Structure 1
Amino acid sequence: MYALVDAVAFYASAEKVFDPSIRKRPVVVLTNNDGCICAVSPEARALNIPKFEPYFKLRHLLNKHNVVVRSSNYELYADLSTRMMEVIGRFSDSQYIYSIDESFLQFTGFAALVKDWHQYGHDIRKAVWREIKLPVGVGFGITPTLAKAANHAAKKLEGYNGVAVIDDIPSAKAILSRMKVTDIWGIGKRLGQKLALMGINDAWTLAKQSPKHMRKQFSVVVERTIEELNGHICLSWDEVKSPKQEIYSTRSFGERVTNINDLKGSLATHCATVGKKLRQQASLTHRVVIFAHSSPYEDNFYKRSYLYDFPVPTNDSRVIANAMNEVLSLLYSEGVRYYKAGVGALELVSERYIQADLFSTSADNKTLMQSMDKINHRFGKGTIKLASEQQSKGWSMRREFLSPRYTTRWSDIPRINCCD
């Protein structure tokens, strides 16, 4: 048996953890630079507030309904995610953290101890709420795909109240027949449109198709999805989430950047981020793309990008930053109001299987990078950084509605006043 546990509107719910005064109020969370709405609490969803719409277009509607608006508080979300995953992990002998708010569980030895999966799901929900104050949905299934479908039912279909179980054909039909085909894990919008032309509009109809025939029509992914919907396990943890083939770090500026030093500082920060992500998944990059551009909505739109090839693949942040420094003069143009910049690592290879070059020596310092990562992990992001990273906050993203970082900043730790 598998389970998928994830938080309900995680970002919005996280904003309510340390602020009980907004627990029952509608809450929305904005993307970088307070641009668009990226998370909507159930109360806000009931007001038909859409996601991924620009904040300025909905400001009047949000004010009308007294909606709480928050900027993305990534530090808080990451810490609450870690705590939530620790609680969830106690309920299984195998856990796979799929994303910041999703965790797969696999039950082998634990399965013999569970007498009622529905009750076990509610026990998980109660534990997470009691210790973290985050609402979660729990879906159980005999394959990872069915667990994902059950989780969808637990949170979005009437009658399941936070927990759903798919452990036989009747329970599978009851849920899959009420799900759109695009609600199934791995079935995107374009594929859903093609399936609709074949009369396949719901998940149960998809499950009844011939896997081999659908593989010929589409791909092996669709074949495996159908097999999983029928209770045949085709996915392993490694297949659920494989290492990224490309890694990017990019962000729009809080204020327009016109100075070359500010642009350099921003790009150096992105280089450091890309290097860290490469090391986290034990990858090296043969090539990076470095780019910057002005706003497409302003006159004289300007965009430049350059590819830089490394003689020896690298994941050292210093080496990547040096590459950026070599092309900076080609990237920068006097008078341009830069709106966005970033760095992308391309042509990734595994650090474990890289073939050394007899004539080219790597400039990487693995010991130094490991030390930097450990210090930043222990004492907080940015404790140690590259000298070229920007110290000024002028280009940093705009977060006008940022809540306190209750668990990661000493000055923001909640204070409790006890009265006699």
Structure 2
Amino acid sequence: MNNHDLTRRDLAVVWHPCTQMKDHEHLPMTPIRRGEGVWLEDFDGNRYLDAISSWWVNLFGHANPYINAAIRRQLDDLEHVILAGFTHEPVVRLSERLVAITPPGLSRCFYADNGSAAVEVALKMSFHYWLNRGQKDKTRFICLSNSYHGETLGALAVGDVPLYKSTYGPLLMEVMTVPGPDCFEREPGEDCEQVAERMFEAMEATLARHAHETCAVIVEPLVQCAGGMRMYHPRYLQWLREACDRYGVHLIADEIAVGFGRTGTLFACEQAGISPDFMCLSKGLTGGYLPLSVVLTHDQVYDAFYDEYTRLTAFLHSHSYTANPLACTAALATLDLFERDDVIGRNRRLAAVMAESLAPLKDHPHVADVRQHGMIAAVEMVRNKTTREPYPWQERRGLAIYRHGLKRGALLRPLGNVSYLMPPYVITEEQIRFLAQVMMEGIDLACRD
């Protein structure tokens, strides 16, 4: 088997995600044979440093020996069982541990298969809560501009990235979109906290006008990942939590991409000192091994569904593979590694190296912004540094960085004109410096006219 043979077979039968398949007439596919630590290896022996954690899921490296061993042990006992009317030890242990480590008050765990499904659960559960409480007018949701919460119809509706959403507009529920606190949009002399304060006025006004018909506000805490790794100040979350309480509206924290240490704390909400009404987790939950997501909520929500069967208040949402024992076991092993090692402390040191390594790009004539929250760092290319005029998306400047990265042995997959690092936590300081150098080279190539 070699790269060419597997690529040929793939293109005959596979339809890849988030891909214009015609691109592969000129853009080579990269077949992967194995992974180890931060490295991926193809069938021809080439290696690629996984700078994006294989779509932000891998925390402790590919083929991690500890997680591998845990899954093997579980495989001998139980591969799967229905979770309606049945239970198993891995889901109980995982739920107990998640309740213990997430923000205070979150006491109940509802499982699904992936991040989009978790968002669907949170949206439906919030609406259903208000319905069970007799508030039938609460049917709408508020989201932030440039937000992204997944690809299923409910999750897509509460997002605001046109690339993903606009095609399916006729199928989506109407939501209220409020200008977000994106610090990239700061005015001269303004810092990120001042941007957050200024932009919160729109959220306050929207809640004051529409709270009576609003189920929940949904946000990605601190980083809007698929929206170009745009970042904002944690004070916004504090003001939002206070306002949701005042107006009687739920707060949904989508920590699918930013949870489990990505932003410098175990959960991004910790940096604001808040507890949401619903917290959606996935991606890093299993260390990048198996599909699993969870929505955590509090007893007030749980109690609104707890009643006699004939009242028809039960939450009937379900998935065939809910809380799969193998996935729960991978998640438990992932949490073990957080407990066993000082992961957050080490990440802070690695994040400092990342900041230092990317700092020279601040002076690049076609870089408008270098930003970072913990183990997420992003560099935004522009045509004009002074005016921040962007490159037209049709030019696909980021593709040049991607191609250059593969030639240099690095998996960098920019979001449009934004190149970013979001690596596994087992990366070394030397490897971070290597990735920064490859990114700089790629940006130089991409910005050539």
The TM-score normalised by the length of structure 2 is 0.25
Structure whose residues are more often strand by fraction: 1
Structure ID, larger Rg:
1
The TM-score normalised by the length of structure 1 is 0.26
Q: Answer 1 or 2: higher relative contact order, Cα 8 Å, separation at least 6.
A: 2
